[in-house]
């Protein structure tokens, strides 16, 4: 029997035809996604669900989806899908992460032109029958300096277009290598230098704890007087109230925003200011982009339902059904190892070297590599997945090297990940025990045996008496419970480390209290998706 797909949101007719041409039965009901009761009533008949943003795939809906195998989101955002619930049901969630890239980059460039030449205001004035030629004095883009914060897929396209306009480009991105920056035609700089030198600043980073309000009142004060700012990436990257004040003072000459901290944005301190251009989150809104993501999702879903091939999955690696049963715990381990080294540095990553020993060397290394790289990249971009992570790493010039070897120690197999940043290396190794649970077995060349939990803490110290006591007393005094604890040392009196599994995230006051004991060289919080 042919697989059956429900399209519950508006999707291109060409995409619907792709399903039919590939031999997939399809029902096109573009309004049913808004009708929760009707959708729940019929979802049990389908193997696949193709959606945009209107359909909300909740745990409750998934309980009714007894046949569902795959959900395809035409676009990148999957906030409307309960991915953990889908994973528990064994339902693959796919998206189309790169279909909107050109469109979004072009919108950023369009916004830059708009504020450079005050086009919206000039249009309104002229429509009103005025001829205020002297009022709208703009600036050229030629030979100006563009600061690009985030040089990934979209940021890279913006850089390419800006170079075509003969702009000088400064790029800030912790994952951008000097080699990749050179290939793009940009100069890699730190954020402070970008803020001080850029005539225009455009944002192309995801919203994370590290990037939230990256343009704060303090950082905006360090920008060049007369700067113009563009944000077509994510709301929350700019302190909108602070930006409004800087616009009113004249320090910032203009701003163009397509995204806001709260959307739909019906009010904002930026609204009504004469030197501000605002659009209602139109970055992906072109005919071509909507067509691209629709065609992509149809092809991906049809491939999976007919052949088992998996592309752009957010909750499943690209492995065969036979491999999945054996590799599941090892893929989880690989992700944890990548997440560890990714969270242990704030410096640009030059290379990631992965060693597979014993049984690990005989597995699907493509999937394991993808899991490691996704773990590394999630430190800066929580939306990354095992498909997009290798692409992002390549865009940033991060060199990935893989080595295999026969069983060489007491374990049947293990994975060791070494990250190179600047002149420093950080390494961690892990294995999967007979209980199918991943463990960390070595950090910085020091042997440990650490169970992996959601919230962990890494500490480094000199091997002297009193460290364990200080750790226990401090955590106990602040009401922090330890679920598991593992320590190791290089040599008597040398470097020592400990990794502690906590019942809660490491609070700043706890970290400061530990450092205040004078026993610890480093205290760092870690988080893992378990």
- Measured CA to CA, the distance from residue 257 to residue 53 in angstroms comes to 21
Angle at which helices 365-377 and 321-343 pack, to 10 degrees? 30
| CB neighbour list of residue 216: distance below 8 Å, 6 or more residues apart | 239, 242
Nearest CA to 91 out of 352, 316, 411, 279 is that of: 316
Site of tokens 């409750």: 60
263 part of the active site: yes
Question: Is the separation of the CB atoms in 459 and 430 below 8 Å?
Answer: no
Catalytic residue among 234, 336, 396, 439: 234
- 168 φ, ψ to 5°? -85, 135
Beta strands 522-527 and 455-462 are: antiparallel
Six token digits for residue 275: 């030197």
- Measured CA to CA, the distance from residue 281 to residue 289 in angstroms comes to 14
Catalytic residue among 163, 212, 281, 460: 281
- Measured CA to CA, the distance from residue 373 to residue 53 in angstroms comes to 28
Question: Is the separation of the CB atoms in 296 and 368 below 8 Å?
Answer: no
The residues facing 459 across adjacent strands are 498, 523
106 part of the active site: no
Beta strands 200-203 and 187-188 are: unpaired
- Measured CA to CA, the distance from residue 151 to residue 42 in angstroms comes to 43
Catalytic residue among 41, 140, 263, 347: 263
399 part of the active site: no
Enzyme catalytic residues: 234, 263, 281
């Amino acid at each position: 029997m042919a697989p059956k797909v429900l399209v519950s949101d508006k999707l291109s007719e060409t995409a619907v035809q792709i399903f039919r041409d590939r031999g997939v039965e399809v029902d096109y009901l573009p309004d049913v996604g808004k009708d929760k009761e009707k959708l729940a009533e019929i979802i049990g008949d389908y193997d696949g669900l193709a959606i945009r943003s209107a359909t909300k795939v909740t745990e409750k809906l998934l309980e009714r989806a007894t046949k569902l195998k795959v959900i395809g989101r035409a676009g990148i955002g999957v906030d409307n899908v309960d991915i953990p619930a889908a994973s528990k049901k064994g339902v693959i969630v796919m998206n189309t992460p790169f279909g909107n890239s050109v469109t979004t980059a072009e919108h950023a460039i369009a916004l830059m032109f708009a504020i450079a030449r005050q086009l919206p205001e000039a249009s309104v004035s002229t429509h009103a029958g005025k001829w205020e030629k002297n009022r709208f004095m703009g600036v050229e883009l030629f030979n100006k300096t563009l600061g690009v914060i985030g040089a990934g897929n979209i940021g890279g396209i913006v850089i390419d277009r800006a170079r075509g306009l003969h702009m000088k480009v400064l790029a800030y991105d912790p994952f951008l290598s000097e080699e990749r920056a050179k290939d793009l035609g940009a100069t890699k700089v730190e954020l402070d230098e970008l803020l001080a030198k850029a005539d225009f600043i455009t944002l192309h980073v995801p919203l994370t704890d590290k990037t939230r309000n990256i343009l704060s009142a303090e950082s905006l004060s360090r920008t060049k007087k007369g700067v113009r700012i563009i944000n077509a990436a994510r709301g929350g990257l700019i302190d909108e109230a602070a930006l409004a004040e800087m616009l009113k003072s004249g320090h910032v000459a203009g701003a163009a925003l397509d995204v806001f901290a709260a959307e739909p944005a019906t009010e904002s301190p930026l609204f009504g200011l004469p030197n501000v251009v605002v659009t209602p989150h139109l970055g992906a809104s072109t005919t071509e982009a909507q067509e691209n993501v629709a065609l992509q999702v149809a092809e991906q879903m049809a491939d999976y339902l007919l052949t088992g091939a998996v592309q752009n999955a957010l909750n499943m690696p690209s492995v065969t059904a036979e491999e999945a049963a054996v590799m599941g715990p090892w893929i989880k381990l690989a992700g944890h190892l990548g997440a560890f080294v990714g969270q242990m540095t704030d410096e640009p990553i030059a290379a990631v070297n992965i060693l597979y020993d014993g049984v690990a060397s005989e597995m699907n290394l493509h999937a394991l590599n993808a899991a490691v790289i996704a773990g590394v990249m999630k430190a800066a971009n929580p939306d990354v997945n095992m498909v997009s992570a290798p692409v992002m790493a390549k865009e940033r010039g991060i060199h990935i090297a893989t080595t295999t070897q026969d069983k060489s120690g007491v374990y049947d197999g293990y994975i060791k990940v070494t990250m190179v940043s600047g002149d420093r290396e950080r390494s961690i190794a892990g294995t999967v025990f007979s209980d199918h649970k991943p463990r960390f077995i070595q950090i910085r060349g020091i042997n440990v045996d650490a169970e992996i939990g959601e919230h962990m803490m890494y500490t480094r110290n000199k091997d002297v008496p009193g460290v364990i006591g200080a750790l226990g007393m401090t955590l106990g005094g602040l009401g922090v419970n330890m679920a598991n604890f593992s320590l190791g040392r290089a040599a008597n009196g040398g470097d020592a480390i400990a990794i502690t599994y906590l019942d809660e995230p490491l609070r700043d006051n706890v970290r400061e209290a530990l450092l205040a004991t004078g026993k610890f060289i480093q205290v760092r919080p870690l988080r893992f998706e378990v």
